[in-house]
Amino acid sequence: MSANPVAKPVTTTDPRAAKPDLPFYDGPGAISGGRWLVVVAACAVSFAQLTLLPIPGGDTVSQWVHSILFPLIPLLALAWAAPRGWTRLFRTVRLRQIAQMFGFALLSLSVSLGAAMALSSVIGANPNPAARLLADASAGERVLFLLGTIPQLLGEELITILPMLALLSVLVRRLHWNRTTALAVAWTATAVIFGLLHLPTYGWNVLQCLVFIALARVFLTLAYVVTRNLWVSTGTHILNDWAMFSVGMAIPAFL
C-alpha cells in the first residue's frame, strides 16, 4: 500500500490575500525616534503656514499656495525619514478603492449627522465659514474653491495619520505596549488633536470640535486603517467635506 502524499502548504501570490501592516511604526522600514520628531514637526509647520505664512497675489493665489504646501511639507519630511519606503503610505486605486471611499464617506456623514441631530441643541453648532462664502460665490469661484480643497484635505490626512503612526511607534517600540491598545490610544489622541485644530474655524466651540469633528475624524482614520491606503482616506475626506459644502450652498436657495 502506498503512503499518502504529504500535503503541501497552499501559497498564493494574490496581493489581496494578505493586507500589509501599518507602515513605519515597527519592523523593517520602521522610522527611528529622531526622524519621527522631524516628520511630526513638519506636520506642525505645514499647519502653521496656513495662517502664518503671507502669500502675495490675492486670495485665490494664497489659497492654492497654502493648499499645495500643506501636504508637500510633511511628504518631503517623510521622504527624508524613509527614503526607500515613504510611498508605502499609498496604494493602488481601482474601482474597489473608489467604492470604499464612497462607503466610508457615507458612514462618516451618517454618524456625524446622527450626532448633530442628537446633541446640537446641547452643544451648539457654529457653521463652517466656507459654506457661507460658497453660498455667495459664483459658479467659477465654487469650482476653484472645491478643487483647492483636494491638496488641502490630503494635507489634513497627512498631519493626522503621520502623527498617529509616530505615536504608535513610541508606544509599541519604546514602551512595549500591546499593538491593539497602542493603536486605539494613538487613533483617539490624533482624532482629538484634529478636532482641536478646528477650534478657530468653528468659533472656539470646544465641545463641537471634540464631539462632532473628532468623531468624524475617527471614521476618516478608519478608512486608512482598514485599507492601509491614504488615497482612500483622502478620497473619503473629500467626499465628506464636499457633501457638507454642497448642503451649505443649497440651503440659501430654499430661504
Candidate from 7-21, 69-83, 97-111 with smallest mean pLDDT: 7-21
- Is the pLDDT at 49 greater than 60? The verdict is yes
pLDDT at 67: 95
End-to-end CA gap in the chain: 88
pTM of the entire structure? 0.88
- CA–CA dist 90, 229 (Å, integer): 5
Band of the pLDDT at 251, cuts 50, 70, 90?
Answer: low
- CA–CA dist 179, 170 (Å, integer): 11
- Is the pLDDT at 253 greater than 60? The verdict is no
Band of the pLDDT at 200, cuts 50, 70, 90?
Answer: very high
Summarised one tens digit per residue, pLDDT across range 4-42 is 444 444 444 444 446 789 999 998 899 999 999 999 999
Give 92: exposed, middle or buried? Use CB within 10 Å, 0-12, 13-18, 19+: exposed
- CA–CA dist 168, 139 (Å, integer): 43
- CA–CA dist 25, 228 (Å, integer): 13
